[in-house]
């Protein structure tokens, strides 16, 4: 049993696929499918929802995850807290450690992730100290509890902007696919996921850069601040993609399962 916990990173935002729940796929689905191919019979649940803070993961996801008695759990949480003004990083990471302690205490293999230093804007460079503190604590906690660590911070492939979605905060399809390969490597699971072989990026002219900056601010930054002012998030109306354990088909993967579920819903 594989259970994935967290926020948009694990939900799969940026890897669009309207055939799947919440319209996304993501690295966790890909990992579940490769696990099932390597060893048929794997079950999978994904409780992650975009915009969730660590406190939401604790209150909404931790207990259901433990009740499923997983053998493998992935956890990425705290990234949204880092972006919030006034977050006490020491208190945040103490809570994070408490979650890891409970997951590790269940006997499951626990996979943790550092955060990547996303070069979104000079404004966010002010958060670099928080990111560094977060990553240092995650590495220490991983060692203390015998967790598997995917050191996302050190994955140089993500310096290519094509690994990121248009909002510059979430991985693109290529990014999710690459990360799935990294997780599988750490778990020792065979796979054939290979990095994209791209041509070198063309240098943008000043005018092109300015146009992209204006578009990004209009389409992503202003709506984000608008939601913060209103006290709403993109995850408020969403449910977990795979809230109950599903047996992952060895052939056809989770898309095949989603098609079956839609067919059943259409007949009822």
- Please, are residues 164 and 172 in contact by the beta-carbon 8 Å criterion? yes
Q: What is the pLDDT of residue 119?
A: 62
Look at residues 72, 44, 48 and name the one whose alpha carbon lies nearest to residue 249.
44
Model confidence pLDDT, tens digit, residues 40-71: 999 999 999 999 999 999 999 999 999 999 99
Domains of the chain in sequence order:
2-197+209-267 (3.40.50.1110)
Q: What is the pLDDT of residue 212?
A: 82
Both tokens assigned to 24: 């996304």
The whole-angstrom separation of Cα 235 and Cα 231 is 12
Strand partners of residue 6: 76
Q: What is the pLDDT of residue 157?
A: 92
Q: What is the pLDDT of residue 25?
A: 97
Give the distance, in angstroms, between the CA of residue 208 and the centroid of all CA atoms in the same chain. 30
Low-confidence ranges of the chain (pLDDT < 70): 118-126, 267-268
Confidence (pTM): 0.92
- Alpha carbon separation from 137 to 93, 106, 131, 153, 215 (Å, rounded): 7, 21, 10, 13, 36
**Secondary structure element (H or E) that encloses residue 5, with its range:** strand 2-6
């Amino acid at each position: 049993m594989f259970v994935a916990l967290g926020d948009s990173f694990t939900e799969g935002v940026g890897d669009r696929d309207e055939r799947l729940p919440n319209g996304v796929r993501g690295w966790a689905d890909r990992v579940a499918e490769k696990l099932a191919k390597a060893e048929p019979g794997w079950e999978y649940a994904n409780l992650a929802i975009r915009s969730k803070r660590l406190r939401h993961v604790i209150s909404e996801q931790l207990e259901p995850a433990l009740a499923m008695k997983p053998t493998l759990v992935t956890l990425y949480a705290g990234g949204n807290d880092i972006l919030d003004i006034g977050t006490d990083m020491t208190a945040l990471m103490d809570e994070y450690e408490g979650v890891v302690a409970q997951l590790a205490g269940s006997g499951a293999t626990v996979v943790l992730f550092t955060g990547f230093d996303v070069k979104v804007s000079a404004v966010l460079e002010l958060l670099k100290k928080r990111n560094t503190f977060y990553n240092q604590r995650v590495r220490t906690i991983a060692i203390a509890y015998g967790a598997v660590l995917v050191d996302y911070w050190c994955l140089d492939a993500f310096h290519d902007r094509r690994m990121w979605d248009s909002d510059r905060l979430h991985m693109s399809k290529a990014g999710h696919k690459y990360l799935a390969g990294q997780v599988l490597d750490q778990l020792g699971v065979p796979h054939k996921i290979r990095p994209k072989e791209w041509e070198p990026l063309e240098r943008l002219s000043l005018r092109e850069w300015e146009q992209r900056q204006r578009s990004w601010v209009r389409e992503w930054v202003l709506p984000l601040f608008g939601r913060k002012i209103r006290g709403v998030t993109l995850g408020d109306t969403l449910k977990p993609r795979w809230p109950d354990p599903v047996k992952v088909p060895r052939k056809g993967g989770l898309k095949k399962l989603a098609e079956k579920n839609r067919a059943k819903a259409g007949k009822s």
